[in-house]
Amino acid sequence: MQLVAVIGSSMAFIDGTAVNVALPVLQRQLGLDAAATQWVVEGFSLFLSALILTGGALGDLYGRRRVFVLGIALFALGSLGCALAGNGVVLITSRCVQGIGAALSMPESLALISANFSGEARGRAIGTWSGFSSVTAAFGPVLGGWLTQTLSWRYVFVINLPLAAFVIVAALLRVPESRDDTRSRNVDTSGAVLAALGLGALIYGLIDLDAGRVSLRAAGSVALGIALLIAFVAYERRAPDPMVPLAVFRSRAFSGANVYTFLLYAALGASTYFVPFVLINIHHYTPLAAGGALLPFIAIVFAASRWSGGLVARTGPRLPLVLGAGLAALAFIAYALPGSGGPYWTTFFPAALLLGGGGALFIAPLTTTVMNSVPVEHAGLASGINNAVARTAGLIAIAALGVIVVTAHLYLLGFREAMIACAGLSAAAGAVAYRTLAPAPSASA
């Protein structure tokens, strides 16, 4: 069961990062402008962020395995469309379908694990899930670079098809069904629509600014997006069956962990997007070499994932999360230091090494903290909220920091400024963890 959940979620994590390395090549081959190229990434992230809460709630209502399998099937359909795309419109539309599928499958993969494990075994299982998911996300650029350089960027999507077939068959045969029988049978469609429209308007406006068009349209779109997201929160407070029951945020640990997630994953998402562009366009790395630059991060997180999954039970959540955020902040500062030359080992290797150490300390312990802060019957909801926060953070950070990168006189200068901003976000995450999370295991239960 754990293998099925890991592979199912890993497909979305791989695509979320592998495509970044392929972007310069597919941009040239399909003739995309800068805005359309960014939408290849943001279209996927938008639907994933906006609907992942609904995906978690649907699993609690109608069965986590059922919704998980449906999500994997939609993700495979979108992958096929991406592989066959002959223009930007088809590619972006197919990426949106992938996002919908990922929104259904990702929260259910973790919810299935939480529903079938308990105590320290749950921590180890979540640690394995988090470690493999993070490793596959980090491995995505390596795989994407190799496929793009040796075959074609289209194979970045083709590889999902056999994996999806295996996951669907294995899930139907080996994974037990689970659901929350106490939950209302109504689905908060109004909340889902408000969230999707709010995020869509916000990101559209930010990407419009990225393209250098400071206009009333861009400013109006950003303002509309913010207004719709405020309306979403207001609606959820009085909705009879809210997609996001705000009462869950009364848990100090749950609230603190999600603020931490937003800040740190905003930095992580932006770095994953911008670093490959700098390596390929400024330092003239090949796609494969650009992807391979993250291998130290992959190795450290993979080696430490099961160990770090049980850290919260032994030390409490505060220590690993504060230290992890601190190392991540140092890593982003290290990414900002290299100029336009120098060997990998003295430029980007130290940054990847620091980010690996930070990831080993915050990835699995953060997930364990989130899942431990709610009752097991709300596992799908908690997973959906935390995944939504993480994806929304990356979605907004790429668009917002893209304004800095594009409007700078030199792309490298803009990249440095963005990495310094990422370091600040990471430091702020550490401060949040220190103030809101318990230092002792007994207090975090």
Rg (CA), the chain: 20
136 and 267, same domain (yes or no): yes
3-class DSSP state of 183? coil
User: Residue 444: its pLDDT value, please?
Assistant: 41
User: Which token pair is 56?
Assistant: 């978690």
86 and 25, same domain (yes or no): yes
DSSP character at residue 212: T
132 and 43, same domain (yes or no): yes
**Closest by Cα among 27, 13, 302, 295 to 148:** 27
User: Residue 38: its pLDDT value, please?
Assistant: 78
Decide which of 242, 261, 277 is a domain's last residue.
Answer: 242
User: Residue 445: its pLDDT value, please?
Assistant: 41
230 and 282, same domain (yes or no): no
Whether 268 contacts 394, CB under 8 Å: yes
Residue 151 identity: L
69 and 172, same domain (yes or no): yes
193 and 223, same domain (yes or no): yes
Distances (CA, A) of 250 to 243, 245, 247, 374: 16, 10, 6, 10
CA–CA dist 191, 197 (Å, integer): 10
> Which positions ≥6 away from 354 have C-beta within 8 Å?
327, 328, 330, 331, 334
**Closest by Cα among 39, 308, 271, 9 to 141:** 271
223 and 290, same domain (yes or no): no
294 and 435, same domain (yes or no): yes
321 and 229, same domain (yes or no): no
For the CA atoms of 56, 265, 441, 246, what is the dihedral angle to 10 degrees?
Answer: -40
**Segments of the chain scoring below 70 in pLDDT:** 1-3, 114-128, 130-138, 179-186, 210-214, 306, 309, 339-340, 376-381, 403, 405-411, 438, 440-445
pTM of the full structure: 0.76
Range of the domain at 229: 188-242
Decide which of 242, 259, 283 is a domain's last residue.
Answer: 242
Say if residue 119 is exposed, middle or buried (CB neighbours under 10 Å; 0-12, 13-18, 19+).
exposed
204 and 344, same domain (yes or no): no
Q: What is the CATH number of the domain that holds 48?
A: 1.20.1250.20
Residue 115 identity: A
CA–CA dist 355, 295 (Å, integer): 11
159 and 110, same domain (yes or no): yes
Provide the angle, in degrees to the nearest 10, between the axes of the packed helices 295-309 and 349-372: 30
Whether 49 contacts 107, CB under 8 Å: no
Decide which of 225, 242, 259 is a domain's last residue.
Answer: 242
Whether 210 contacts 34, CB under 8 Å: yes
Whether 2 contacts 125, CB under 8 Å: yes
258 and 114, same domain (yes or no): yes
Tally of structural domains, the chain: 2
User: Residue 316: its pLDDT value, please?
Assistant: 78
Whether 343 contacts 279, CB under 8 Å: no
The length of the chain, given as a count of residues: 445
